[in-house]
């Protein structure tokens, strides 16, 4: 029987559109270090990321989303992960957001720290301390 929480107790999966699976496989697997999960479909890449998953699929609309597609809650490791990803060629985005100051590539507002970057198709991805 379905309770009143409906989806509140169910896991969610981030789903990201890309133009080329080979390029995406290198970025999400090699650059970001995500672990491939079993995928029975040839046009979908599935990754484990923490206790959740990420699906990457081919679409003509890849990279058209102008908002964040996926966010990783990384705790106090934001700065260290930013530095590690920069050594792999990841370029971080700098946004002018009210109430936030930029410290290197990390946006800071009080105790919140966040850093945004794009995948090869322009999908916006985020790291946040949570």
pLDDT at 3 (0 to 100) = 65
Give the domains, in start order, of the chain with CATH numbers. 13-128 (3.10.180.10)
Mean pLDDT by 10 residues, the chain (130 residues): 73 93 96 88 88 94 95 95 97 95 97 97 96
pTM of the predicted protein model: 0.91
Q: What is the DSSP string of 54-119?
A: EEEEE-TTTT---SEEEEEE-GGGHHHHHHHHHHTT--EE----TT-EEETTEEEETTEEEEEEE-
């Amino acid at each position: 029987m379905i309770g009143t929480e409906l989806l509140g107790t169910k896991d969610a999966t981030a789903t990201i559109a890309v133009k080329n699976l080979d390029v995406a496989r290198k970025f999400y697997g090699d650059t970001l270090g995500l672990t491939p999960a079993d995928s029975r479909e040839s046009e979908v890449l599935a990754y484990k990321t923490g206790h959740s998953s990420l699906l990457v699929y081919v679409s003509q609309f890849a990279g058209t989303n102008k908002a964040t597609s996926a966010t990783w809650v990384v705790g106090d490791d934001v700065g260290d992960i930013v530095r590690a990803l920069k050594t792999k060629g990841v370029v971080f985005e700098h946004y002018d957001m009210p109430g936030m100051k930029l410290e290197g590539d990390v946006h800071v507002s009080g105790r919140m720290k966040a850093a945004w970057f794009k995948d090869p198709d322009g999908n916006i991805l985020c790291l946040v301390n949570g």
